[in-house]
Structure 1
Amino acid sequence: MPVLPRHDLPFAPRRASVGLFGGSFDPAHEGHVHVTRHALQRLELDRLWWLVSPGNPLKSFGPAPLQARLTQARKLMRHPRVDVTPVESLLGTRYTADTLRALMHLYPERRFVWIMGADNLASFHQWDNWRVIMESLPIAVVARPGQQLRALSSVAARRYARARIPARSAPLLSMAQAPAWCFLTVPLRDISSSHLRAQGNWLGTGHL
C-alpha cells in the first residue's frame, strides 16, 4: 500500500457516507452532474467523489490526458460536497476492485457506496473481481435511457437478486451490509461522453 500525503487525498470525516462515482470522464458532461446531484439527494450522502481513472481496461482506445480531464471535470462539477480526484492514479491501481480495497484501507470508519450507471451493471460480470466488488460495499445503480431491462436481466443482477433493496430504502443503502444494491430511476438525460467526442466537442475544438 503506497504512503500518500494526506493533502493529495480527498477529505471525508469519520463515519461519513461517501459515494464513489468512477469513470474515465472523457469528457465529463451534464449527465454526470445530473447523476451526481440525484445520488447525493436520493442516497443522502455526506460526500461524493468522482474517481477519474487513468484509463478503462475494458476499452481498447486510450482516453484524453488525465490532467485535461480533471481540469474540465472540476470546471463542470462545482458542489461543496463533491470532490473530483485522480485517486486511482495516485494509488497506482488499475482495476476498480483494487482501488476500492485501497480506499477502504486508507479511510476506515467511512461508509462507501459505489455508484454506477445501469449500462455498467449490464456488463458488470466482465469486470475484474466483480464479485469481490459486489460483496465489499453497497452499490447504487442509476438508470439511463434504454438500459433498464438489460441491466436488470444481467448476470450480476440475477446473481445478487436477493441483495437488492427497494428504491424507497435508498437513504439506508450506505448503512447496509454488502452485498446490497439499489436500482434508482431518476429524470433522465441521454448524454454520453462518446457522443460529445463524436461531435468534436472535446479536446480539440474547444468547448462543451
Structure 2
Amino acid sequence: MKIGLFFGSFNPIHIGHLIIANTMATSTDLQQVWFIVSPQNPFKKNSSLLHEFDRYTMVERAIADNHKLKVSDIEFSLTKPSYTIDTLTILADKYKEHEFVLIMGEDNLVQFQNWKNYEKILEFYEIYLYPRPNTPAHDFGNHPKVKFVKAPLLDISATYIRKRLQEQKNIKYLVTDQVEAYIELKKFYI
C-alpha cells in the first residue's frame, strides 16, 4: 500500500489539515494518509504544546469517520526532538509491505536543507507538496522526487486557533465539532 505521512504537532488539528490529508488521499495515488503526531518539532518551541496523547486523541476524533485517514503515535517512543528521517526509517523497517511518501507544505522546502539527512529523504522517499500562501523561492521544486499536488490554498493555523481560544472567541468551522468538544471538555488553550 502507498501511504502518505503527514507529520505535525496538530496543536490542535484543524480543518486545513483535514482538507489537505483528504485531498492527498483522494486525488493522488495514495491509498491512505497517516497523521504522525510529533511530540516535539525540532524547529518549534513547545511552550503551548499540549501533551502528545491529547493531540493524538484530537486527531483520532477528527478523522474517525474517514477510513482513508489514520493516526500514528510512532514518534512517542523516540528520542525528542524526533527527526523525520529517523521516523521514516523506522516505519519502512516496521512496515516493509508499504511504500511511504512524505506530505508537506511547500513552505517547508525553504528550510528543507536544514533538516537532518534531508539528502537521504530525497534519495529514498517521494515528497508530495501542497501549496502554501506566500512561499518564497526554493531549490527543490524541480527535484524528480518532489511532486506538487493541487490542493486548496488555506491559511488556517493552529496558532490562530489557540489565540482565539485564549481570547474566549468561537472556533466553530476551524476545527471539527468533535475536536471543539474535546477542547472545551479539557479546557485547553485557555
TM range (shorter): 0.7 to 0.9
**Structure 1: 5+ residue runs without aligned partners?**
1-15, 164-179
Q: Which residue of 2 aligns with 1:174?
A: none
* Cα-Cα RMSD: 2.1
Which residue of structure 2 lines up, in the alignment, with residue 154 of structure 1?
Answer: 138
Checking the alignment, whether the CA contact within 8 Å between 1:20 and 1:114 is kept in structure 2 is yes
Q: Which runs of 4+ in 1 moved over 6 A?
A: none
| Shift of residue 154, structure 1, vs aligned partner | 1.3
- Equivalent-residue separation in structure 1 for 2:187 and 2:90 (angstroms): 37
1:119 aligns with one of 100, 104, 107: 107
Q: Count how many residue pairs are aligned between Structure 1 and Structure 2.
A: 169
Letter in 2 for 1:73: V
Q: Aligned runs of 1:1-208 on 2, under 5 Å?
A: 16-62=1-47, 63-78=49-64, 79-92=66-79, 94-147=82-135, 150=136, 153-157=137-141, 161-163=142-144, 180-200=145-165, 205=187
Aligned 8 A contact 1:125 1:155 in 2: no
Q: Give, as a single letter, the amino acid of the residue that structure 2 aligns with 1:38.
A: T
TM-score by length of 2: 0.81
How far does the alpha carbon of each residue in 1:6-50 deviate from its partner, in whole angstroms, 9 at most, with x for none? xxxxxxxxxx11111001111100000000110012213211100
Matched residue type, 2:57: T
Q: For residue 27 of structure 1, give the secondary structure of its aligned residue in structure 2.
A: coil
Whole-Å separation in 1 of the counterparts to 2:103 and 2:143: 19
CA distance in 1, matches of 2:72, 2:98: 17
TM-score normalized with structure 1 length: 0.74
CA contact (8 A) 1:47 1:81 kept: yes
Contact 1:145 1:188 in 2 (8 A): yes
**Counterparts of 2:96 and 2:153 in 1: how far apart (Å)?**
34
